[in-house]
Structure 1
Amino acid sequence: MFQTWVLPILISYLLGSISFSYLLTRLLKGVDIREHGSGNAGATNTLRVLGKGPGILVFLLDALKGVAAVWVGSALSDGDQVIMLASGIAAVIGHNWPVFLGFRGGKGIATTVGVSAVIAFTATLFAGICAILFIVLTRYVSLGSLILTLCIPAVMWIEGYPNVMVLMMAIVTVMAFMRHKQNIVNLLRGNERKI
């Protein structure tokens, strides 16, 4: 029980708690990313504060956290998909509420992409295309992010994934909406920042 459930989830949470946005901004500018731009420790705010290169790098590193967490879950559970997904979710929770940064982190989208790409590649690919289209058409990254997290469990359900996995991925969607609460308010008011 400890080795197959508790240990991978704990390791994955700690892995998710490593904030590449925070570390890179400290390294390049000597500042706390959470005190600039939107105040979010994630790839989009890094893009706004540091530019395209660092923003893309943070997105990739945050996505790799999700991939690594799923691999940790797989290695410690002999490939149990539910534990793999639980480990991935733990990494998203770590990214959003990192123990190393006083539980003030990012919004978990890049890490979610990493997790879901391993668990449900086709669903992630479809959701990613939809998200990119929405971002290109509206220039709202937040809207694209929300579309992404809505599409992944929906496509998983259509593809016939076990209900428990669809529900677990839906929990990630709920977390994304929680973290984007102010963005949703701004979108409804018409004053959300465009990329």
Structure 2
Amino acid sequence: MNYIIVVVLGYLLGTINPAYLISKHKNKIDIRDVNSKNAGTSNMAITFGLKWGVLVGILDILKGFLPVFILRFIFPDNDVLWILGGLSAIMGHLYPFYLGFKGGKGTATFGGLVLGIMPIHALILLMLFFVVLFISDFIALATLFVIIVVPIVMFFLDFSYISIILVLLYSSISFYKHYPNYKRIYLKEELGLKAAFKKKKDKP
């Protein structure tokens, strides 16, 4: 019963999409209709500016962090339940029922989950994420780095195999969600983050 409650509540929390809600309130537009058409941090930053992207990023991170933090307090010895709570929030972010199951890609929310299960390692991974982003200029590649490395780190930290498998399932979904980006990067058709910000700045 605990698992069902965690999945349902985690999913419902995840469906609260700040990118969609803020864009609707701020400019009466659907963030999913502009630029990258993704209801997440990077598209908010590109569309409305860095401060709005940062705000959405923090809120999306909290969606993944809070379930894990609360569940760690209630069930300190059950890492599967922590992971399940965080992943359910990510699924809610990816597939919100009231938005036709079309949400964001879950990168920031996954970051919140990682922060909840291994705080110190998460901060190191965050720094490495920005290093990869700075070198590559593509969030998709920085994300690819994270979704590959996190399960490996979990293995060496002795997380249960079930928890690692659950995270690997999300890694597969994340790869699928970002596959069009990877394809465009390979074909040299993807707009880098710096270019996207410059394009926005140069608009009259």
Q: Same fold (TM over 0.5)?
A: yes
Correspondent of 2:146 among 148, 156, 159: 148
Aligned partners of 2:106 and 2:121: how far apart in 1? Answer: 17
Distance 1:9 1:179, change over 3 A: same
Residue correspondence of structure 1 range 10-49 to structure 2 within 5 A: 10-49=8-47
Instruction: Give distance in 2, aligned partners of 1:70 and 1:168.
Output: 14
Per the alignment, residue 193 of structure 1 pairs with 191
Shift of 1:71: 3.6
**How many aligned positions are there?**
193
Deviation at 1:75, TM superposition (A): 6.0
Q: Of 5, 8, 13, which aligns to 2:6?
A: 8
Query: What SS does the corresponding residue of 1:193 show, helix, strand or coil?
Result: coil
Gaps of at least 5 residues in structure 2 are 194-204
Q: Give the letter for the 2:26 counterpart.
A: L
Q: What's the TM-score, normalizing by structure 2?
A: 0.89
Q: Note the C-alpha offset of 1:72.
A: 4.7
1:100 corresponds to 2:98: yes
RMSD: 1.6
**Alpha-carbon offset, residue 158 of structure 1:** 2.4
Identity of aligned residues (%): 27
Q: Is the 8 A contact 2:79 2:159 kept in 1?
A: no
* Alpha-carbon distance in 2 for matches of 1:138, 1:42: 20
- Per-residue deviation, 1:78: 6.2
In 2: Cα distance, 1:74 partner to 1:120 partner: 11
One-letter amino acid matched to 1:96: L
In the alignment, what sits opposite 1:129? 127
Of 163, 170, 180, the match for 1:182: 180
SS in 1 for 2:158: coil
In 1, Cα distance between equivalents of 2:56 and 2:15: 14
Aligned equivalents of 1:76 and 1:162: distance in 2?
A: 18
Q: Aligned AA for 1:101?
A: L
For residues 136-157 of structure 1, give each alpha carbon's deviation from its aligned partner in whole angstroms, at most 9, with x where no partner exists. 1121111111111111111111
Counterpart residue type for residue 64 of structure 1? L
Q: Which moved more, 1:130-139 or 1:29-38?
A: 130-139
Distance between the aligned counterparts of 1:59 and 1:85, measured in 2?
20
Runs of 4+ in structure 1 deviating by more than 4 angstroms, as ranges, are 74-79
